[in-house]
Amino acid sequence: MKLHFLTLALAVSAISQALCASIIPEDEASAAAKREDRKAARAVDSVLSSMTLEEKVGQMFVPAVFINTQAERDRALYLIEKCHVGGISMYRNKPTEAAGFINQAQSVAKTPLLTAMTFERGLAMRLDSAFNYPWPLTLGAVQDERLIRRMGRRVGEACARMGVNYNFAPSADVNSNPANPIIGVRSFGSDPQDVAEKASAYIDGLQSAGVLACVKHFPGHGDTDKDSHKELPVINADRQHLESVELYPFEKTLGNGAASVMTAHLDVPALEGGTGRPSSLSSGIVDGILRSRWGFDGIVITDALNMKGVSSNYPSGRAEIEAIKAGNDMLLYSADPETAYREVLRAVKNGDIRQQRIDQSVRRILSAKYRLGILTRRASQTDTSHLVRDLATVEDSSLCLTIMENAVTLLKNEHSGLPVKDLSSGNPVYVLPLGNGGSSVFTSVAGTYAQVKILPANSTARQVKDMLPDGARLLVSWHEDNPESFTPQAVPKGDVELIDSLSQLPGAAFVMFGNPYCLLQFDGWKKYGSVLLAYQNMWAAQTAAAEAVFGSIAPKGKLPVTLDGEFEKGEGLTFKPIGRLAFGFYPQGGISAGAMCTVDSLLADIPATGSAPGGRLIVARGGRMVIDRSFGTTMYGDSLSRPVTPGTVYDLASVTKVSATLPLIMRLYENGDIKLTEKLGEVLPQYKGSDKQGITLTEILAHNGGLPAGIPFYKYTVDKKTGEPLPEFYSTVRSEEYPFQVGDSLFTCASYPDTVLARIRACSVKPKRYVYSDLDFYLLRSVADKFYPQGIARAVQDEFYVPMGAVSMGYNPLDRMPADSIAPTMRGNSFRKGYVIRGYVHDGGAAIYGGVSGHAGNFSSAYDLAKYGQMLLQKGYYGGHRYLKESTVDRFTRYVYGTKDNSRSLGFVKKQIGAKADNYDAFLSDDAYWHTGWTGTIIVVEPRLDLVYVLLTNRTYEEKTFGLFSENSYRFKILEAIVKSMEQSMEKHRK
């Protein structure tokens, strides 16, 4: 096998050659590649022939560069200008400062530099404010190598944005020793083939972005218990083991096109003959294996030569000379680079090193620079404006979450304990977070699926058991506290004992947010019925683990290492997702950055124009919430106002019709309790003899029964002149006679709901035609009440909301939550003058109906309303439970009449038939259905795009300006920007 680095396809060259190969004959493509090789060789020869010996020797040095002080910067520039170094290796710093220095360094270098950093898990490994991807060991659990390739590509793009063209990554070490102090999570795992494949995927992605990869630490640093930074580790394996385990990933990755390899400082007797010579200085290992056996012709670079594994016995100068003799091309981090440079020059001049040997290495270095596009022209200067923003993008976050969702590993799942399905008891899911790391993301994401109660970490086992009701679900999680650690952290004795003591509780599951080798420290976790391994404690791991626990994703990861012989490498269980909403980012929904800017601009405009104080937006596509925005505040300029949060609850107003009353009617229909053709007088005998007796349930649901639009019921309960509440209808004290609270210290009489129904019975019906009427849903509440003696508020919670985990959803929210979690809907108007209406229904008719009406009164967070919408989108299925039959959802969400005069379904609004092309709903399909609410709310289900859209605001809070919300058509402008972007994305993919 002969590998020519000159033919490695990097950057633009890689893409262009691949495209050419796909559209022109193979022999022609081969000829083009050969021409490119000859062109490269001529360019390299031209530069090489013009270089002095001093310049050639300098090209082999890659000094460490620190720029925290001016003296350090000056020192680095001196080495570039006077010692002609071929590259620089930079360490921890700020992105803009590092990029700025790279610009300066390239500007003074006669021959453009290889600018190197170590970014194994992304740029955050060395740069603050940059994006942090998972450790390679976590990637080892991922079975879809395309994700690792995508990560490598994204890391490469970020490197290029920084001006870094050489990444000292990935590690191809096989981590077969849990006690390894320096590799650990930097390895892809303990299986040589897996390590080779995943390292190759990372390299492919990185180099496709035009950045050199460096596979390390040859010949393999995985099976050591010593750190070569501190001493020379010994690898005592025999030759056969080394060939099949340690060397295998290096041979494969170099054969697959890795641009360079880093030699480690190891004592490998089976390869070096027991001389104790570091592998980095061994010609038998470097030249013998890499060059002679494998035919590798790319760059070979040493590991840092200031490390004790080599520097203890080889001082600066001698180490570099021996490294060159061994076959290394570049010398990393000399302890004294200036001295080493002079010593190498002396060795060449006195014949200790042949100049031909120097030329071989320099040719490889210059060839790499040619392929990077920097040899024959000055390296471009990095634009540092917006640099930090560009190093941590939403695309990074999206990819990182996807990686973690593919990494989480289900090690045990007795009795199908996970996912958590049944929430019908209404009991919270209890979470006990242990360890010193943060757990807020895990608990908050879990809290979007179910009511969650967090137990104090300092609880005793007895206290925990006493706090748990019968049948409660308990999640015990352990969180590492040092994300920078390569090695497993110690699990405190108290945590070990508590984990063990709680393992036998029925329904308990254990979730590990840390290095899997931490599990070797104790056995209690093995006693849990369900064990989920998340590998590390980053936000994406906590999100993915919560998603897996509640079944919105399937665990797909496989254990990358063996744990104590009981859990073997490659083990990992799975289950089918149960249809709960997962989390995500707008690119995953096919939404462009431009469309997202439009959405964010419109959201910011809502409070800025006084259209509403604030609100919440959720957009779900493909079962994943791809937009999750909170904007504005709960009130205007009030001391009690708070920023809107994900948990803020809103009055849904008329969205109540389709989110509370309608699902109960749908359930009654599919159970055979009612027929849509039945007439009102047949279902509700009290309407016999009235002009409403012949209206069918279909006509009521489609607002086609001829009922008037509404009756201002509350106006009959206030003084006509002053608008003050009349004492016969209201009291400031709750009593049996005045049980219904409509505001702070304001209660209405128990008899008034009967008066409301009497007024509806007495009103005149006009000829049957479409008139949107709240009265239709007053009547439908009466229909539901007939079959649900507990009342619709309790029925819809028991039948739908509680089992869904929609704990915020329901009538009269103050019975379940504090007032400050609810956005107020008005202040000082109607019959509740002087009151801020917060937690009491805004609609006056619903208020005097006890807050529970068929047309208004329901409250919800955006998350919980989105769950309901997703259930409808999934044809009645959500969270492992079927709430409605598919046929029922289809029947209630299609057109009833399908005419220009009535374009509704049984309850929902649909696209207007026969409307102009510029109608507000023109961009939606005929399958879409939705409903809006007076308070500034909307839910839309668009099956064509697998889309659920929820926007909640409290636009009615300020009476003087709330009309602006509808005038500006925010609900549909935002939706239109999203839908059109999705359509454009679909069209692009079709092409």
3-state SS string over 294-315?
Answer: CCCCCEEEECCCCCHHHHCCCC
Backbone angles phi, psi at 282, to 5 degrees: -100, 115
Q: Answer whether residue 32 shows pLDDT above 90.
A: no
Query: Would you state the pLDDT for residue 466?
Result: 95
CB 195 within 8 A of CB 249: yes
Local confidence band at 14 (pLDDT 50, 70, 90 cut-offs): very low
Q: Is residue 389 part of a domain?
A: no
CB 167 within 8 A of CB 429: no
Domain residues for the domain of 462 are: 408-578
642 and 514 in a common domain: no
User: Which stretches of 536-675 are DSSP H helices?
Assistant: 539-549, 593-608, 655-656, 662-670
Distance CA 298, CA 295 (A): 9
Distance CA 534, CA 666 (A): 41
Secondary structure class of 679 (helix, strand, coil): strand
Distance CA 525, CA 519 (A): 8
Question: Which range is least confidently modeled, 13-17, 549-553, 613-617, 794-798?
Answer: 13-17
**Among the listed residues 881, 908, 879, the one whose alpha carbon sits nearest the alpha carbon of residue 896:** 908
640 and 546 in a common domain: no
Secondary structure class of 441 (helix, strand, coil): helix
Q: Is residue 78 part of a domain?
A: yes
Q: What angle in degrees, to the nearest 10, is found between the helix axes of 539-549 and 394-407?
A: 50
Domain boundary among 578, 613, 634: 578
| CATH code of the domain containing 664 | 3.40.710.10
Query: Would you state the pLDDT for residue 742?
Result: 86
Q: Is residue 402 part of a domain?
A: no
Q: Which residues contact 898 (CB under 8 A, 6 or more apart)?
A: 913
316 and 465 in a common domain: no
CB 864 within 8 A of CB 671: no
CB 479 within 8 A of CB 437: yes
pLDDT in tens, 252-268: 999 999 999 999 999 99
CA quadruple 566, 571, 575, 581: dihedral positive or negative?
positive
Backbone angles phi, psi at 866, to 5 degrees: -65, -35
419 and 305 in a common domain: no
Query: Would you state the pLDDT for residue 832?
Result: 64
Query: Would you state the pLDDT for residue 833?
Result: 64
72 and 205 in a common domain: yes
Q: How many structural domains compose the chain? A: 3
Backbone angles phi, psi at 609, to 5 degrees: -90, 0
Question: Which range is least confidently modeled, 128-137, 619-628, 689-698, 826-835?
Answer: 826-835
630 and 519 in a common domain: no
614 and 551 in a common domain: no
Distance CA 33, CA 766 (A): 82
Q: Is residue 387 part of a domain?
A: no
Distance CA 310, CA 510 (A): 44
Local confidence band at 3 (pLDDT 50, 70, 90 cut-offs): very low
Tokens of 307: 């490390």
Strand intervals (E) in 24-151: 61-62, 64-65, 87-90, 114-117
Q: Answer whether residue 726 shows pLDDT above 60.
A: yes
Domain boundary among 578, 609, 638: 578
Query: Would you state the pLDDT for residue 834?
Result: 63
Q: Answer whether residue 518 shows pLDDT above 90.
A: yes
Query: Would you state the pLDDT for residue 777?
Result: 97
* Helix (DSSP H) and strand (DSSP E) numbers for the chain: 35, 31
Secondary structure class of 568 (helix, strand, coil): coil
Share of the chain above pLDDT 70, in %: 97
Q: Is residue 565 part of a domain?
A: yes
| CATH code of the domain containing 120 | 3.20.20.300
432 and 329 in a common domain: no
3-state SS string over 56-89?
Answer: HHHHCEECEECCCCHHHHHHHHHHHHHCCCCEEE
Q: Answer whether residue 1 shows pLDDT above 60.
A: no
CB 253 within 8 A of CB 1: no
Question: Which range is least confidently modeled, 205-214, 361-370, 756-765, 936-945?
Answer: 756-765
Query: How many CB atoms neighbour CB 782 within 10 A?
Result: 18
Query: Would you state the pLDDT for residue 486?
Result: 83
Distance CA 585, CA 593 (A): 11
Secondary structure class of 660 (helix, strand, coil): helix
CB 59 within 8 A of CB 365: yes
Q: Answer whether residue 870 shows pLDDT above 50.
A: yes
Distance CA 364, CA 87 (A): 13
Query: Would you state the pLDDT for residue 2?
Result: 42
CB 279 within 8 A of CB 263: yes
Write the DSSP symbol of residue 815: G
468 and 347 in a common domain: no
| CATH code of the domain containing 557 | 3.40.50.1700
Mean pLDDT of 681-706: 96
Instruction: Return the higher-pLDDT residue of 664 and 92.
Output: 664
Q: Is residue 584 part of a domain?
A: no
Distance CA 941, CA 908 (A): 10
284 and 241 in a common domain: yes
Domain boundary among 578, 611, 640: 578
pLDDT in tens, 200-239: 999 999 999 999 999 999 999 999 988 889 999 999 999 9
Query: Would you state the pLDDT for residue 828?
Result: 61
Q: Which residues contact 162 (CB under 8 A, 6 or more apart)?
A: 95, 98, 99, 102, 117, 123, 127, 382, 387, 391
Instruction: Return the higher-pLDDT residue of 92 and 75.
Output: 75
Q: Is residue 111 part of a domain?
A: yes
CB 595 within 8 A of CB 979: no
600 and 474 in a common domain: no
Distance CA 801, CA 682 (A): 30
Query: Would you state the pLDDT for residue 721?
Result: 83
C-alpha dist (Å) from residue 852 to 257, 511, 652, 774, 775: 68, 41, 12, 13, 14
Q: Answer whether residue 352 shows pLDDT above 80.
A: yes
Q: Answer whether residue 16 shows pLDDT above 60.
A: no
Distance CA 892, CA 752 (A): 32
Query: Would you state the pLDDT for residue 621?
Result: 99
435 and 369 in a common domain: no
Q: Answer whether residue 363 shows pLDDT above 70.
A: yes
Mean pLDDT of 158-162: 98
Query: Would you state the pLDDT for residue 830?
Result: 60
User: What's the pTM value of the predicted model, to 2 decimals?
Assistant: 0.94
Write the DSSP symbol of residue 429: E
Q: Is residue 36 part of a domain?
A: yes
* Mean pLDDT score across all residues of the chain: 94
CB 367 within 8 A of CB 40: yes
Q: Which residues are catalytic?
A: 229, 303
Local confidence band at 12 (pLDDT 50, 70, 90 cut-offs): very low
Query: How many CB atoms neighbour CB 635 within 10 A?
Result: 20
